[in-house]
Chain A
Amino acid sequence: MREYRFERPGTVTEAVRRSGSDTAYLAGGTTLVDLMKLEVMTPGRVLDINRLPLRGLDATGGGLRIGALERMTDVAADPRVRLGYPMLSQALELSASGQLRNMASIGGNLLQRTRCGYFRDVSMPCNKRQPGSGCPAIRGENRMHAVLGTSDSCVATHPSDLAVALAALDARVQLQGRDGVRTVNLCDFYLLPADTPHLEHDLRPGELVTGVIVPRLDWAQRSIYLKIRDRQSYEFALSSAAVAIRREGDTIVEARVAVGGMGTRPWRLPAVERALAGRPATSNTYAAAATATVDGTRPLRHNAFKPELMQRTLIRALLELEQTR
């Protein structure tokens, strides 16, 4: 860890004003401090944002507005989230561990960095950490890496479970910077690596995530987040699926589908949604729709099983969703 200056701004404007190229915001610190210890992130100044008024979960008028500093534990436990958007609660509760969820914030969760082992090891090259240095994962140990949205520069998976569920829900991210506030769609907020894998978000210098908006979706009451991993708990997704279904009788009217563990960013699957809509809710429909997932996948040496696992994860999620209520 490098020496750094530690500051605790009291207002959002002050925080934004004080931030510069060499600063990092500190929320729960579960990503930041970890990566500082590994010297992957070496900010000269750390701005602790925990005093900022970015808490609160608001559901008035339908939908949700979640403050960026809300803790994962609290959001997962909130009855409005549990009942109205079960996939959000589930995605959060299947993440990390109890201790981490008590510390980790929603804003920090969306901005957590990839778990690629080369990214986390400063003795190795990595285009994301050190632009232009190369990507050892493409030919190296890449079992956990992405098959969607990859480039010849980077194949790192986006690790957040929450972001997958939020992608399915058309969530928007609220930002505040020196030039004021703006709101972007979560899916657009994440950038594809292309040849600039070090640029991960549509975030302007100094911009703060202030909150997340989940638009009202009544039928999200019937939703699920399914996470598949080698270890039963305390591990990132090898594969995951966030699914919501609106049914009339036995017919699927509308669907929301996103997958995790597969893409360089949380991955929404509109083709699968289309393939489900208007069809009977049967396992045949699910299997047929799931085949649409493999379009455009680019498997690597050790993760060739992922497209198949993605289909199966999706089918299982659809089947399990059918069994809820």
Chain B
Amino acid sequence: MTVSPIGREIDRVDGPLKVTGSAPYAADYRPEGLVYAYLVQATVGRGTVRGMDVSRAEAAPGVIAVFTPFHPLPLKSPSGESGENYSALQDTAVRFRGQIIGLVVADTFERARDAAALVSADYTVTPSRTSLADAGPGVPQGLVQKLAPGVSSIDAALASSPVTITTSVSQHAHHHIAMEPHATTAVWVDDQLTVYCGAQSPQRAAATIAARLGVEPAKVRLICRYTGGGFGQRSPVWNEALLCAAAARALRRPVKLVLSREQVFTAIGHRAAVRQTIRLGAEADGRLRALSHDSDGELPAAGGWQMMPGRDTSAVAYRTPNIRIDQRLVTLDTPPTWSMRAPAEAPGMFALETAMDELAVRTGVDPVELRLRNYATEDPVEGHPFSSKYLDECYRVGAERFGWSRRTALPRSQTDGDWLIGMGMASALYPAWRQPASARARFRDDGRVAVASATSDVGTGAFTMLAVVGADELGLPVSSIAAEVGDSALPPGGVGAYGSSVTTSTVPAVQAACRAAVKALVQSAVDNPRSPFAGLAPATVRYRQGRIEANGRSVDFRTLLRTMGVPHVEAVSTSAPDKSASQYKFHCFGAHFCEVRVHRLTGEPRVNRFTSVFDVGRVVNAKAARGQLTGAIIWGIGHALLEADPIEPDGRFAAASMADYLVPVHADTPEIDVHWLDRPDPHISEFGARGLGEIGLVSSAAAIGNAVFNATGIRVHDLPITIDKLL
């Protein structure tokens, strides 16, 4: 009897390959005749390139070509969703500091890099708009408003509330800086292009590349079997990858382009800087009467992702009769933005949960109790019930595990030697999203079953998820499943690895594909004249744990396929949400509790411990789930205490390197107690998984900020919370 692997502690199936360095990433491919490209980036914030001197670069050893706006590589303009709204080298405009203005190709990486440093450019400079703080309100985008009958405006609702809180918060740009720097290896064979390039959505990326190069979609194949982190940064295709493919076409030889760490900070989108104001109106007992959430997000003139931090946060979180969400965008001459893990939810919930903590302080209601008093059982704006919500249980279990009852509400009332100790909490939520998805299951005559879907494993564990679900569905050990992702040539309909949706969407597709493949196997067993089951009615033949059985005979599928002389039998299935799903609001929930210490003299804020409890539906792999949730909480530590890239008036990011842009290291990372409720969502799919890649990040920064307040009595609204703000 095989035991179902679902929900157990399963090692990554791709782990051994990764730790031994034998998993090929985009830059690891070395096709015959390969040459190397290196970017040249603009060093002014805005203007035009008047001229470029490439003579020294062209004369440098090993240089094959230098492409510039004056000697461009042809690319079509982008249409539809894309990271940037222009194609590089097609004109002389400089839209932001760091924009690509040249590509040097040489016979080695070092020679390309060194020659790139010899390219000089002459600019006409126009003043840049870069400061979000100085920009004033942006252009309204998505107004969400619900007012109770008889209430004329949100301001009226606030004005009539016994207690009001106004909280303004801000954060600078954040960078994804995935472990694998952006890299592309482009190989043309005749008119067929293969691109090795990390991508969150291989099929969409391949389609984009085809469109921008002006070739048939079928001519482009994108392979990203292993991708060293996505976080949103690898959902669009950026100009660098397009130039690499275009250079390979122009030069008729394979080209590789690997960005330096520093280049990734500007050539690839970042999380937009954003300012937000929350206004809460409440009864004296903390029950909300009104919630207003205004935001001004950075939107680069060069294109980017729209920062809308109120929509999936304040419009969903609490039962509130009056809600107004005004999300505005401010056009700036900054490098492009793109979604970054919990893209709007992390900043949005930082704002809301900071304000809720201030309300708790003002009303004297315990922060957990305050949230229970405002508990929403349905979407407060649309009125749809939540498909499944056990956030109250998260609060209860979390408070218990953490020891919340030991907290004292009075700031500066707990110490450990010279350290002030504080405890804080916050609630988390993140939309659950099931996309239509496809998968393929293939019984192979080597005795394994290949389970494939054209999604991407950006380090999250998608390979293992396919193997676990396939093994469970087919009654086989996990090791009998060969998982495949990261190839645009897999059957159409793979989902992008974003929005915490891969597991939610793909599990049902894998289950369907496995069932269909079993059916196909049985059918072929009765149809194939060489099969021992030939001629039987399919209904009398059954599949059980890798074996075909009928009439007292039992044959394993490997033997059966070999006997029939068939190398494999497969099925492709797609799966989409039920129509009935539209009646529900699908969200994941969680509760964070944390303890911090702040030195009474020197003000360093440090996290002592974290307890977080999540309601994310059914979990496929406990080990992978814990990794995702823990990792996201560590991101929250960065969000709260370290990460920020201020931009200078000329458009230069001040911390555009890993030396200056601080992310948490081990010493910043305490014990993190992650726990989840085992509550399958009955409406999202038969399986009941809601996805958990991002929710850990949502509100973990707020919990830290609230704990810092509890420790010090100081409320820091402008992130990150650093020493200088706590002296």
By a beta-carbon cutoff of 8 Å, the part of chain A in contact with chain B is: 1-3, 39, 115, 117, 120-121, 123-124, 140-141, 143, 228-235, 238-239, 305, 308-309, 312-313, 315-316, 319
A315 touches B601 (CB 8 A): yes
Please report which residues of chain B, range 444-491, place their CB below 8 angstroms from some CB of chain A when the two chains form the complex. Answer: none
A233 touches B666 (CB 8 A): yes
- Supposing A141-B648, A316-B418 touch, asked if A232 and B606 sit within 8 A by C-beta, the answer is yes
Distance in angstroms between the alpha carbons of A234 and B667 in the assembled complex: 9
A231 touches B655 (CB 8 A): no
Distance in angstroms between the alpha carbons of A235 and B659 in the assembled complex: 8
A1 touches B666 (CB 8 A): no
Q: Which of B641, B654, B664, B724 sits near A117, CB closer than 8 Å? A: B654
Instruction: Give 13 new A-B contacts, CB below 8 A, not counting A234-B665, A319-B601.
Output: A39-B117, A120-B659, A141-B654, A141-B655, A230-B722, A231-B642, A232-B667, A233-B666, A305-B724, A305-B727, A312-B601, A313-B601, A313-B602
- Supposing A1-B113, A2-B114 touch, asked if A228 and B604 sit within 8 A by C-beta, the answer is yes
What are 11 A-B residue pairs whose CB atoms fall within 8 Å in the complex? A3-B114, A117-B660, A121-B652, A228-B602, A228-B723, A230-B641, A230-B662, A230-B722, A234-B667, A305-B724, A312-B601
Distance in angstroms between the alpha carbons of A239 and B117 in the assembled complex: 36
Q: Which of B43, B602, B668 sits near A233, CB closer than 8 Å? A: B668
The number of chain B residues with a CB under 8 A from chain A is 33
Q: For B723, list chain A residues within 8 Å (CB).
A: 228, 230, 238, 305, 309
Q: For B641, list chain A residues within 8 Å (CB).
A: 230
Cβ of A160 to closest chain B Cβ, rounded Å: 15
A231 touches B664 (CB 8 A): yes
Of A2, A230, A234, chain B has the most CB atoms within 10 Å of the CB of A230
Q: Is B599 an interface residue (CB 8 A)?
A: yes
- Supposing A228-B602, A305-B727, A315-B601 touch, asked if A1 and B665 sit within 8 A by C-beta, the answer is no
Q: For A39, list chain B residues within 8 Å (CB).
A: 117
| B194-228 interface bits toward A, Cβ cutoff 8 Å, 1 = contact, 0 = none | 00000000000000000000000000000000000
A319 touches B727 (CB 8 A): no
Distance in angstroms between the alpha carbons of A117 and B665 in the assembled complex: 21
By a beta-carbon cutoff of 8 Å, the part of chain B in contact with chain A is: 43, 110, 113-114, 117, 418, 599, 601-604, 606, 641-642, 646, 648, 652, 654-655, 657, 659-660, 662, 664-668, 720, 722-724, 727
Q: For B606, list chain A residues within 8 Å (CB).
A: 232
Q: For B110, list chain A residues within 8 Å (CB).
A: 1
Q: For A233, list chain B residues within 8 Å (CB).
A: 665-668
Cβ of B162 to closest chain A Cβ, rounded Å: 38
- Chain B's closest residue to A136 (CB) is B648
Q: For A313, list chain B residues within 8 Å (CB).
A: 601-602
> Would you call the interface of chain A mostly helix, strand, loop, or mixed?
loop
Q: For B117, list chain A residues within 8 Å (CB).
A: 39
Distance in angstroms between the alpha carbons of A181 and B629 in the assembled complex: 60
B418 touches A319 (CB 8 A): yes
A231 touches B418 (CB 8 A): no
A143 touches B664 (CB 8 A): no
Of B603, B642, B657, B724, chain A has the most CB atoms within 10 Å of the CB of B724
Cβ of A261 to closest chain B Cβ, rounded Å: 11
B665 touches A232 (CB 8 A): yes
Cβ of A288 to closest chain B Cβ, rounded Å: 15
Distance in angstroms between the alpha carbons of A124 and B656 in the assembled complex: 13
B668 touches A115 (CB 8 A): no
Q: For B657, list chain A residues within 8 Å (CB).
A: 117, 120
Q: For B660, list chain A residues within 8 Å (CB).
A: 117
Of B117, B654, B657, B662, chain A has the most CB atoms within 10 Å of the CB of B654
Of B601, B641, B642, B660, chain A has the most CB atoms within 10 Å of the CB of B601
Q: For B113, list chain A residues within 8 Å (CB).
A: 1
Q: For B599, list chain A residues within 8 Å (CB).
A: 316
Distance in angstroms between the alpha carbons of A11 and B602 in the assembled complex: 47
- Chain B's closest residue to A228 (CB) is B602
Distance in angstroms between the alpha carbons of A34 and B603 in the assembled complex: 32
Q: For A140, list chain B residues within 8 Å (CB).
A: 648, 654
Of B642, B646, B652, B664, chain A has the most CB atoms within 10 Å of the CB of B652
Q: For A230, list chain B residues within 8 Å (CB).
A: 604, 641-642, 662, 720, 722-723
Cβ of A41 to closest chain B Cβ, rounded Å: 13
Cβ of A50 to closest chain B Cβ, rounded Å: 23
Distance in angstroms between the alpha carbons of A319 and B43 in the assembled complex: 48
Distance in angstroms between the alpha carbons of A140 and B649 in the assembled complex: 9
Cβ of B672 to closest chain A Cβ, rounded Å: 15
B666 touches A309 (CB 8 A): no
- Chain B's closest residue to A38 (CB) is B262
- Supposing A115-B659, A117-B655, A143-B724 touch, asked if A239 and B642 sit within 8 A by C-beta, the answer is no
Cβ of A104 to closest chain B Cβ, rounded Å: 15
Q: For A229, list chain B residues within 8 Å (CB).
A: 604
B114 touches A316 (CB 8 A): no
Q: For B665, list chain A residues within 8 Å (CB).
A: 231-234
Q: For B114, list chain A residues within 8 Å (CB).
A: 1-3
- Chain A's closest residue to B724 (CB) is A305
Cβ of B595 to closest chain A Cβ, rounded Å: 16
Q: For A231, list chain B residues within 8 Å (CB).
A: 642, 662, 664-665, 667-668
Cβ of B324 to closest chain A Cβ, rounded Å: 35
Distance in angstroms between the alpha carbons of A285 and B27 in the assembled complex: 61
Distance in angstroms between the alpha carbons of A120 and B659 in the assembled complex: 10
Distance in angstroms between the alpha carbons of A316 and B727 in the assembled complex: 13
A316 touches B664 (CB 8 A): no
- Chain A's closest residue to B666 (CB) is A233
Distance in angstroms between the alpha carbons of A123 and B666 in the assembled complex: 33
- Chain A's closest residue to B726 (CB) is A305
